Chains A and B, each alone.
Chain A
Amino acid sequence: MRLVQGNEAVAEAAIKAGCRFYAGYPITPSSEIMHFMARKLPEVGGIFVQMEDEIASLAAAIGASMAGMVSMTATSGPGFSLMQENIGYTAMTEVPVVIVNVMRAGPSTGIPTAPSQGDVFQAMYGSHGDYPVIVICLADVLDSYLLTARAFHLAEKCRTPVVVLSDEIVGHMRESVTLPEIESIAIDENGKAERPEMPVIGRDPDVYYTGLASEDGRVISDLDEYDRLIKRLYRKIGGVASCKIENGDADTILFTYGSTYRAAKAVIKVADVGIFKAETLNPFPERELRKVAKKASRIIVPEMNVGKVVKEVERVVYGSCKSCEVISVATHRRIDPFTILEAVEMAGRV
Chain B
Amino acid sequence: MSEYFAPGHGACPGCGLTIAVRNTLEALEGKVFVSNSTGCLEIISSMYNRSAWGVPYIHSLFENAGAVAAGIEAALKALGRKDEGHVVVFAGDGATADIGIGTLSGMFDRNHDVLYICLDNEAYQNTGNQQSGLTPPGANTTTTPAGKIMPGKLGRKKDMVSIAVAHGIPYVASASVAFPMDIRRKVKRAVEFEGAKYIQIHCPCVTGWGIQGKDAVPLARLAVETALYPIVEFENGELVKVRKIKDRKPVEEYLKPQRRFRHLFRHPEGKKILEMIQKIADENAKRYNLDI
List A residues at the B interface (Cβ < 8 Å).
Answer: 25-28, 31, 34-35, 38-39, 42-43, 48, 50, 52-53, 78, 82, 108-109
| A42 to B144 Cα, complex, angstroms | 11
CB distance from B92 to the nearest CB of A (A): 11
Q: A25-B99, A42-B150, A53-B63 are in contact. List 17 more A-B contacts (CB 8 A).
A: A25-B98, A27-B127, A31-B127, A31-B128, A34-B143, A35-B145, A38-B144, A39-B145, A43-B149, A48-B143, A50-B143, A50-B144, A52-B101, A53-B98, A53-B99, A78-B61, A109-B61
| Contact among A38, A42, A78 with B62 in the assembled complex (CB-CB below 8 Å) | A78
Query: When the two chains form their complex, are residues B130 and A50 in contact, meaning their CB atoms are under 8 A apart?
Result: yes
Residues on A with C-beta less than 8 A from B124 are: 26
Q: How far is the CA of A82 from the CA of B103 in the complex (A)?
A: 14
Task: List 10 A-B pairs, minimum CB-CB distance, nearest first.
Answer: A53-B99, A52-B98, A26-B130, A26-B127, A38-B143, A26-B124, A42-B149, A35-B142, A50-B143, A39-B145
Shortest Cβ distance from B130 into A: residue: A26
Chain A residue nearest to B147 in the complex (CB): A39
CB distance from A24 to the nearest CB of B (A): 8
What is the minimal beta-carbon distance from B143 to any residue of chain A, in angstroms? 5
Do the beta carbons of A109 and B59 come within 8 Å of each other?
yes
A34 near B101 with CB under 8 A, answer: no
User: Shortest distance in angstroms between A1's beta carbon and chain B's nearest beta carbon?
Assistant: 27
A108 pairs with B98, CB closer than 8 A: no
Whether A34 pairs with B130 at a CB distance below 8 angstroms is yes
Task: Kindly provide the distance from the CB of A243 to the nearest chain B CB, expressed in whole angstroms.
Answer: 34
Q: Is B133 an interface residue (CB 8 A)?
A: yes
> Are A26 and B61 touching (Cβ within 8 A)?
no
19 CB contacts below 8 A, A to B, read: A25-B98, A26-B124, A26-B130, A31-B128, A34-B142, A35-B128, A35-B145, A38-B142, A42-B150, A43-B149, A50-B131, A50-B144, A52-B98, A52-B99, A53-B98, A53-B99, A78-B62, A108-B61, A109-B42
Measured between beta carbons, the chain B residues less than 8 angstroms from A39 are 145, 147
The chain B residue with its CB closest to the CB of A38 is: B143
Which residues of B55-102 have CB atoms within 8 Å of chain A's CB atoms?
A: 59, 61-63, 94, 98-99, 101
B45 interface residue (CB < 8 Å to A): no
Q: How many A-B residue pairs have CB under 8 A?
A: 52
CB distance from B117 to the nearest CB of A (A): 20
- Rounded to whole Å, the gap between the CB of B109 and the closest CB of chain A is 18
Please, which residues of chain B bring their CB within 8 A of the CB of A82?
63
B145 touches A38 (CB 8 A): yes
B38 at the interface (CB under 8 A from A): yes
Closest to B158 in A: A52
**Chain A residue contacts of B101, Cβ below 8 A:** 52
By CB atoms of chain B within 10 A, which of A25, A42, A52 has the most?
Answer: A52
B289 to chain A, nearest CB (A): 32
Least CB distance from B36 to A in Å reads 11
What A residues does B143 contact at CB under 8 A? 26, 34-35, 38, 48, 50
For residue A35, which residues in chain B have a CB less than 8 angstroms away from its CB?
Answer: 128, 142-143, 145
Chain A residue nearest to B127 in the complex (CB): A26
In the bound complex, CA of A27 to CA of B126 (Å): 9
Instruction: Specify which of A31, A43, A53 is in contact with B130 (CB 8 Å cutoff).
Output: A31
Residues of A within 8 A of B150 (CB): 42
A52 and B133 within 8 A (CB)? yes
- Which chain A positions have C-beta within 8 A of B59? 109
* Distance in angstroms between the alpha carbons of A53 and B37 in the assembled complex: 14
Bitwise interface map of B from 103 to 133 toward A, beta carbon under 8 Å scored 1, else 0: 0000000000000000000001001101101
Which of B127, B133, B143, B149: most chain A CB closer than 10 A?
Answer: B143
Once the chains are docked, how many angstroms separate the CA of A38 from the CA of B131?
Answer: 11
Q: Which residues of B contact A28 (CB under 8 A)?
A: 127-128
Of chain B, the residue at the smallest CB distance from A51 is B98
Nearest CB in chain A: distance from B99 CB, A? 4
Interface digits, B125-161 against A, CB 8 Å rule (1 contact, 0 not)? 0011011010000000011110101100000000000
Determine the chain B residues whose CB is within 8 A of the CB of A53 once the complex forms: 62-63, 98-99
* B contact residues around A25 at 8 Å (CB): 98-99
**Complex formed: what's the CA distance from A27 to B39 in Å?**
11
Q: Quick one: closest B residue to A24, CB to CB?
A: B143
From residue B259, how far is it (CB to closest CB) to chain A in Å? 17
Q: Which residue of B lies closest to A54 (CB)?
A: B99
In the bound assembly, the distance between CA atoms of A82 and B98 in angstroms comes to 14
- In the assembled complex, how far is the CB of residue B182 from the closest CB belonging to chain A, in whole angstroms? 30
- Give the distance in Å from the alpha carbon of A27 to the alpha carbon of B95 in the complex: 12
- CB contacts (< 8 Å) of A48 on chain B: these are 143
Q: How far is the CB of A76 from chain B (nearest CB, A)?
A: 10
Q: Quote the shortest CB–CB distance from A75 to chain B (angstroms).
A: 12
Question: Min CB distance, A44 to chain B, in Å?
Answer: 11
Nearest CB of chain A from residue B33's CB, rounded to whole Å: 19
Residues of B with C-beta under 8 A to A42:
149-150
Contacts of A26 in B (CB 8 A): 94, 124, 127-128, 130, 143
By a CB distance below 8 angstroms, the chain A residues around B130 are 26, 31, 34, 50
Assembly CA distance A31 to B59 (angstroms): 22
CB nearest neighbor in A for B101 = A52
B133 surroundings in chain A (CB, below 8 A): 52
Q: Which residue of A lies closest to B38 (CB)?
A: A109
The docked-state distance in angstroms from the alpha carbon of A109 to that of B43 is 11
The listed residue with most A CB atoms (<10 A of its CB), out of B99, B101, B147, is B99
Chain A residues within 8 Å of B147, by CB: 39
CA distance A43 to B130 in the complex (A): 19
Most buried by B among A26, A34, A39, A42: A26
**CB-CB contacts below 8 Å: B149-206 with A:** 149-150
